[in-house]
Amino acid sequence: MKKIGIVGATGSIGSQAIDVIKEYLDDFEVVFLSAYKNEEKLLNFKLQVNAKYAVLTGKQPENDEILFGEQELLRIIDNEEVDIVLSAAVGFSGLIPTYHSIKRGIDVALANKESLVTAGLILTKLASKTGCKIIPVDSEHSAIFQSMLGHQTEDLEKIILTASGGPFRNRPVDSLEFVEIEEALKHPNWKMGKKITVDSATMMNKGLELIEARFLFDVPVEKLDVVIHPESIVHSMVLFCDGSYIAQLGYPDMKIPIAYALSYPKRLNLKTKRIDFYRLSKLTFDKPDFTKYPCLKIAFDILKNDKSSYFIALNGANEIAVESFLNRNIKFIDIAKIIEEVLNLIEPKDVNSIEEIVEFDRYVREKTYYIIKKRFS
């Protein structure tokens, strides 16, 4: 029986993980669950899976069965017997719990891509030192992870991330100025939280995934590519030096990569939808349009520089810009413009410790808020 903990249990990924665990209670023992503010949902989950601890990090809980504060969460990670932690918090907030898990030598099922975007080199080196595994939960990185099993890294020619193209794939570029929040939150294939859904609409999500892949699979930008694949059946693929492509296919259902990461190296017998190849009419692939998706171009550009200050700045500026869009303070097309303006202020350099990353992220967010206030207030 695997002892697991979930950081970000009440979000989209965490909630689907709870659904998986409830079906396989004989396979998992839940040591802890954490959430930011959703106390009622957290308490319900604690009871459903009989979790030993539940921690609320964003506000003082009303129920005495729930602990309070990030320090309580870190204390549990640092001291309790845990086999794997699902890192599913939204954004930069997932970095510190992920770091503590890896430092302790606990395997991490990583859904919080921002951890590797902002601290990729530190976390991968630490994982190598402590002997723990980082198992990706993103459907794309899970596909790459599975496609690479049994193959040599030196034989890898290219990693190809697939992208649905989001809700605006067929929308004219000159109409993006008029995008409403409700439109940006209507993803054609996946059900996700608001922030990641907006990231999918701008394709910044794919940009962050490129950076994550750079560290997760230790490859340069020259070996990374993105194709638009509207059907979201092929979740990503790898090309080897002999011309062989290996891909992982499946219907768009996050329970598949979640369950695979939690149960690895086993597979659970999930009751998910199967592909009917007799009815699957077509699979299409297109080149991304950087005019329509400037956020993706920005990510490719900073990857060529390969400096952590740019990765941290990209992530922090994007989080604040998306927050501002969701609060109706800026337009959809302003997200990329703000990120670019912030990056122009950043000196390309390596940021070499978690403490420095936290401080630098704070600096970036202050600059982003200042730019938004100056331009849009």
Q: Going residue by residue through the chain, which has 377 residues, state the pLDDT in tens, using 9 for 90 and above.
A: 999 999 999 999 999 999 999 999 999 999 999 999 999 999 999 999 999 999 999 999 999 999 999 999 999 999 999 999 999 998 899 999 999 999 999 999 999 999 999 999 999 999 999 999 999 999 999 999 999 999 999 999 999 999 999 899 989 999 999 999 999 998 777 667 789 899 999 999 999 999 999 999 999 999 999 999 999 999 999 999 999 999 999 999 999 999 999 999 999 999 999 999 999 989 999 999 999 999 999 999 999 999 999 999 999 999 999 999 999 999 999 999 999 999 999 999 999 999 999 999 999 999 999 999 988 87
Instruction: Give the phi and the psi of residue 332 in degrees, each rounded to 5.
Output: -55, -45
Calpha distance 377→366 (Å, rounded) = 16
Q: What is the pLDDT of residue 375?
A: 85
DSSP string, 109-177: EE--HHHHHHHHHHHHHHHHHHT--EEE-SHHHHHHHHHHTTS-GGGEEEEEEEE--GGGTTS-GGGGG
Alpha-carbon distances, residue 150 vs 97, 126, 267 (angstroms): 30, 24, 16
Q: Does domain 2-136 have CATH number 3.40.50.720?
A: yes
Q: Domain 307-377: which topology?
A: Rna Polymerase Sigma Factor; Chain: A (1.10.1740)
Q: What is the pLDDT of residue 281?
A: 87
Q: What is the pLDDT of residue 188?
A: 72
Q: For CA atoms 189, 195, 200, 206, give the dihedral sign.
A: negative
Q: What is the pLDDT of residue 190?
A: 67
CATH 3.40.50.720 intervals, the chain: 2-136
Q: Does residue 220 sit in helix, strand or coil?
A: coil
Q: At what angle do helices 194-202 and 204-216 cross, to 10 degrees?
A: 90
Q: At what angle do helices 204-216 and 308-326 cross, to 10 degrees?
A: 150
